Structure 1
C-alpha cells in the first residue's frame, strides 16, 4: 500500500496541482484532508459493537470497529487521541532512504517490481524496463549512487551527500533533514510550526516527483502530521521513545544468561544502585578539603554542589589528542567574537584545558587553549551557494598569539569532511547538547538556535529534473522472472475476484 497524492495539501494556486507530466498523469484539485473531531468519529463508529471487526462490505467511513477507548467519557473530546512516535518514523524513513540511495538488495524501495508498476501506470517513462533479448534492462535512477560515491559517503548524512548525486536530489534531502531538525528542537513557536507545516507538503511532493510509489509507505506519509501534533501537544522531545529505548538498551546489556534475563537485569540494576549510593563523592571531596564537620557541611552544601555539577554536564569537551583513536568527536569549539566591526563566529579545536587557581580567594577558573581556524576570508571560510552550509579550512590558522578563552564562553560544534572541496576542508555542524533546554528566551533567539543546526534556503523548483543517471551500471532482470510474476499476479487477482463474488 502506497501513500501518495500529497499535492492535495498544496495551496489551490500552486502550479504543481496541474502538473500531469511529472506526477501521476492527472490534475489534482482535491480539497486537503482535515482531521476529524472526536464527536464525528464517534458518530461514524457508533454502528459497531465495541472491539468487534465488521465483515460486511457496506460503507463504514473507513472504520472496521469501534475502539474500546470510546467508553471513556472524555475520549471523544480529546483533540489528539494518539501520538505518533517521531523516533521510529525518523529511523524507518532514514533506513528506507539510505537503502534506496545505495541500492541495497532486499531493502531498497526501487526494485524491478516498482519499475513494472510505473509501466502499468504509464508514469516516469525514462525509468521503464527496457527489453533486451531474453532479459530487461533496468535504467539507474537519479537518486542511485555510483560506486565511487558510495566510498565517499560517511555516516553523517546529509552533509556527506553534498559531493554526490544531482543537484535536485540533494536539495530535497537537505530540506528533509532541515525539517527533521526543526521539528525536533526543544523550543517551538507557532509561526515556525506553520512554516514547517507548509514546507513538509512541498517536500513530500518533490519526493513523489523523484522516488517510485513504493517508497511512500505509511512512515513517510506520517511526516505530514508532525507539525499539527506539535501545535496541539508541544515539542516531540517530551513524547518520543528515545529515552525509553536507550534505557532498554542499557537493561538488555545487563543480560548475561539468556535463560534468566529478568534475574540478570534485577541483579545488575541493584548492583548499579548500590554503587551509586555507596560512592558518596561529595563527602570524599569535603574530607579532602577538611575533615572537620563533614556531615554538617555536606547537608548545607550538597544541594548547591549538585546543582553546579548538573549544570556542568550538558557540554563535554575533549582535547584533540584525547580523541585521537576514538570514533566520537568532542573537541570542536565555537565562540562568538568581534573581528573588525563585525560579530563573527570563531571555529577551532581544543588543545588543552587549564585550571587557574586564585590562592588568595580559593577560586578556580577553567581556560581552554585552542587552535583557531581563519574565517576572515574566502581562503579560510566557504559558504556553499546551494545549501548555505559553512566549511572551514583547517590548514589556515588564526590568532595564534591569542589561543585562550574561558570555558564558559565555549560552545560545541562538529567537523565533517567536505567531500566537495576536498582535503583540509571540513563542514561545520552545530548541535545543542542533549540535556540542555532553552528557557526564558526571546523568539529571535529561538530562531537563531534552530537555524544554527543546518541553515538551508534552497529552491525546490525541479521542472528540469532528469530521472536517470548515465554513470551508474545498469541492472539486468531476467524476462522469465517478470513473466512468472505477471502470471502469479493475474492468478491472485482472479482468486480475489471469485471470493468477492462468492461473498456477494
Structure 2
C-alpha cells in the first residue's frame, strides 16, 4: 500500500465535539452534541469556514452523553478506520480520474469536560489532570484543548464570581470550606450565624452600585485586579497567530504564579470563524456578503460608505490639507517623494545642510512639483492613470457620510448616536520625537495616535473617490500614558498641535474602543478588537499593528504583590452573604 503522505489528496482530519442547550438559558434542560470533522488540507482561513466543516453526528437527548459517547461514535469510528486501512475509490474531477482516497484522524479538539469524555480520562476531582495519569502518553489519539473555549469558560467564571451570578459564581460555601480545610485566608472562612452561614465579603466582592458602573481598574483592589489582568495577558499572548516555543515556556511559568495567587485570594465568543474573500463572487449557495465585507467599486478606491450621504463644499485651506495628506501617504506617490527630496538637495545646498528647512520646503512644494512633472512621471509609473488624477487635485465639492466600512471594520462619526461605539481610531505614524523624558535628542520612531472620528469625507478626484477621516486627536505627549499594562488616553486635553493635521486615509484606520475610568473621568482605557471577517493572513499583518501585539496588554510591570500595601482578603465597605 502506498505511503499516506505521498498523495496530498488524502484527508487530514480533526474531530471536534461539544454540547449546548438549544433553548439557551431557559429552564428546560436539554443537551445537543454536534460531532464535526475539520479538514486540515485546506489553508487556515478556509478550513474553519462553516461550509468546509463536516457535521457527522448530532446527538440529542435530555442530558449529555458523557462517557457513553463512544456508543454514538462507533459508526463514525468504523468509517474512519475503513478510510485509514483500505480507503475508498473516489473520482477526481480535476484530473478526470479515479483514485484511492484515504484519511487520518490526527486529533480531537474539545473543552476540558469533552476531553475527559473522548479520552476516557478523569478530568475532575483530585486526579483531574489527564496528563499526570499512568500511561497517558500511550493514548492512541492526541486530544487537544480548545484554547478559545477554555478562555470563554474562565471569562464566564470570573464575571460570574465578580457579579455573584447564581449558577456561575465560584465563590460558594463549599469553596470557603475548602479554604478552611487548607488553613488559608482565615478572614474568608464561613461563620455560623444561627441556623444560617455567613460568608464575609471578599476583596473581589462588588456592591450594587459598583456592578452598575463596572470598571476593572477603577473598582478592584490591586491584588485581584493584577491577577485578572495577568490572566488576560496570558490568553492574549497564547492566541497570537504566531507564537514561539520559548514564549510558551515563559507563559507557563507566568500563569502558574497567576493561578496560585487567584487560588490564594479565591478568584477563580466561543466560536471563531475565519472569514475569507476566497469565494467572494461565486460559491453557489449563500451569496450574502459578510457584515463588514468590502466590495469592489469602479468609483470608490477603498471600502464603501453606509448610511445617507450629503454634499459638502470644502474651503481651499481644508482641501489643500486633505490633498496634501493624500499625496504624502498613498502608495502610488511614494516613489516620487524621495525623488523630490533629491532634487531639492541638488538645487539648494542650504537645504541639504538644514534638515528641518528641507522637510518644510518639501511639504510646501511637493504638490506643485508633482503636478508639473506628472506627464513624465506617469510614463514610469505602473499606475499612471491614478497618479495623473491625484496630481491634479480633487474637486471642492465632496460627499460626507456618517458611516464607512473598510478593512473589515465599521466606522461611524462621533455624532452618530448608537448603542455601540465605532468612532474610536488609532494609526501608527513614523515621526521625529524625543528619545526619552530625560534625553532630548531627536530620534525617528513609530508612534501610535488615538482619536475619534468627526467627519467621513469622500474626496472626488474626477475619475475616482478616495475616503479620508477627519479626527479629533488625543495629545500624544501628555494625553497618552501606560498603567498596569493598559494604554490610557485623555480625549479632553487641548489638541492645538493637531488642528492643522486632522485628516488621515480611511485605509490606515485601526478601530479602538474607549472605556471611561470611574475614578478619573478624563482618561479612557484603550480596547482593541480585530476586524470582523478579516482573517486572511496575507491581508492582515499582525506584526505591523502595534495595538495587536501581546505587549499591548502585557504582564510586564504587573506586580501582584506590593510590599507597600497590606494584603487583605476581605473588603470592609461591602456586606457579606447569608446562605
TM-score scaled to structure 2, two decimals?
0.48
Is residue 440 of structure 2 the alignment partner of residue 371 of structure 1? no
Which of 97, 117, 123 is matched with 2:178 structurally? 117
In the TM superposition, 1:441-452 aligns within 5 A as: 449-451=548-550
**CA deviation map 1:344-398 (0-9, x unaligned):** 3221111222222333xx3443222111122322xx33432x4453232335334
- 3-state SS of the aligned residue for 2:254? helix
Per the alignment, in what secondary structure is the counterpart of residue 144 of structure 2? coil
SS of structure 2 residue aligned to 1:459: coil
Q: Residues 210 and 467 of structure 1 are in contact (CA less than 8 Å); yes or no, is this contact kept in structure 2?
A: yes
Aligned ranges 1:34-49 → 2 under 5 Å:
none
Which residue number corresponds to residue 242 of structure 1? 272
CA distance in 2, matches of 1:318, 1:395: 22
CA–CA distance in structure 1, aligned partners of residues 296 and 430 of structure 2: 40
> Given that residues 425 and 509 in structure 2 are in contact (C-alpha distance below 8 angstroms), is that contact kept between their aligned partners in structure 1?
no
Shift of 1:443: 11
Task: Give unpaired runs (5+ residues) of structure 2.
Answer: 1-105, 107-118, 122-129, 276-282, 300-404, 434-441
Q: Does 1:402 pair with 2:507?
A: no
Aligned length: 323
Aligned counterparts, 1:258-273, within 5 A: 273=286
* Kept after mapping to 1: 8 A contact 2:543/2:549: no
Please report how far the alpha carbon of residue 461 of structure 1 lies from its aligned counterpart in structure 2 after TM superposition: 3.0
1:355/1:367 contact within 8 Å kept: yes
**Secondary structure of the structure 1 residue equivalent to 2:202:** coil
- Give CA-to-partner distance per residue, 1:434-483, whole Å, 9 cap, x none: 42466699998688842454244211336752111111102234xxxxxx
SS at match of 1:171: helix
Q: Deviations over 1:389-441 (max 9, x none)?
A: 3232335334123211222333222211122312x321122344242466699
How far residue 241 of structure 1 moved from its aligned partner, in angstroms, is: 4.0
Q: Distance in 1 between matches of 2:242 and 2:550?
A: 12
**Which residue number corresponds to residue 152 of structure 1?**
213
1:467 aligned to which of 549, 563, 569: 569
Could you say which residue in structure 1 is the equivalent of 2:258?
A: 203
Change (3 A) 1:416 1:85: same
Note if contact 1:332-1:412 (Cα within 8 Å) is conserved in structure 2.
yes
Distance 1:64 1:466 in 2: 43
Change (3 A) 1:96 1:275: closer
Match of 1:318 in 2: 412
Where does 1:58-69 land on structure 2 (aligned, <5 Å)? Answer: 62=133
Q: Structure 2 CA distance, aligned partners of 1:387 and 1:174?
A: 8
Whole-angstrom CA distance in 1 between matches of 2:192 and 2:503: 67
The answer to which of 138-147 and 114-123 deviates more is: 114-123
> Partners in 1 of 2:425 and 2:520 — Cα distance?
20
- Take 1:466 and 1:312, find their aligned partners in 2: how far apart are those partners? 49
CA pair 449-106 structure 1, distance change in 2 beyond 3 A: closer
Deviation at 1:274, TM superposition (A): 6.3
Is 2:511 the counterpart of 1:412? yes
User: Does the 8 Å contact 1:179/1:196 carry over to 2?
Assistant: yes
The structure in which a higher percent of residues are strand is 2
Unaligned 5+ runs, structure 1: 1-37, 39-50, 54-59, 76-80, 154-159, 216-236, 247-269, 287-310, 478-504
Relative distance call for 1:352 and 1:337 in structure 2 (3 A) is farther
Q: Per the alignment, do residues 178 and 327 of structure 1 end up closer, same or farther by CA in structure 2, a change over 3 Å counting? A: same
* Equivalence for 1:390: 488
Q: Deviations over 1:3-62 (max 9, x none)?
A: xxxxxxxxxxxxxxxxxxxxxxxxxxxxxxxxxxx9xxxxxxxxxxxx999xxxxxx995
Structure number with the higher helix fraction is 1
Q: Which residue of 1 aligns with 2:459?
A: 356
Report the more deviating stretch, 412-421 or 328-337.
328-337
Q: How far apart, in 1, do the equivalents of 2:253 and 2:540 lie?
A: 25
Aligned to 2:391: none
Would you say the 8 A contact 2:185–2:264 is kept in 1? no
Q: Distance between the aligned counterparts of 1:66 and 1:431, measured in 2? A: 38
Return the match for 2:162 from 83, 90, 101: 101
1:421 aligns with 2:520: yes
Aligned runs of 1:75-94 on 2, under 5 Å? 75=141, 81-94=142-155
SS in 1 for 2:412: coil
SS in 1 for 2:490: strand
Alignment of 1:276-291 (within 5 A): none
Tell me if structure 1 keeps the 8 A contact 2:421–2:513.
Answer: no
Give the superposed CA RMSD.
4.2
Cα distance change, pair 442–402 in 1 and its aligned pair in 2 (3 A): closer
What is the DSSP-based 3-state SS (H/G/I as helix, E as strand, rest coil) of the residue aligned with 1:317?
Answer: strand
Please state whether the residue corresponding to 1:402 is helix, strand or coil: coil
Partner Cα separation in structure 1 for residue 273 and residue 543 of structure 2:
29
Question: Contact (CA 8 Å) 2:480, 2:487: kept in 1 or not?
Answer: no
**Cα gap change, 1:136 to 1:355, in 2 (>3 Å):** closer
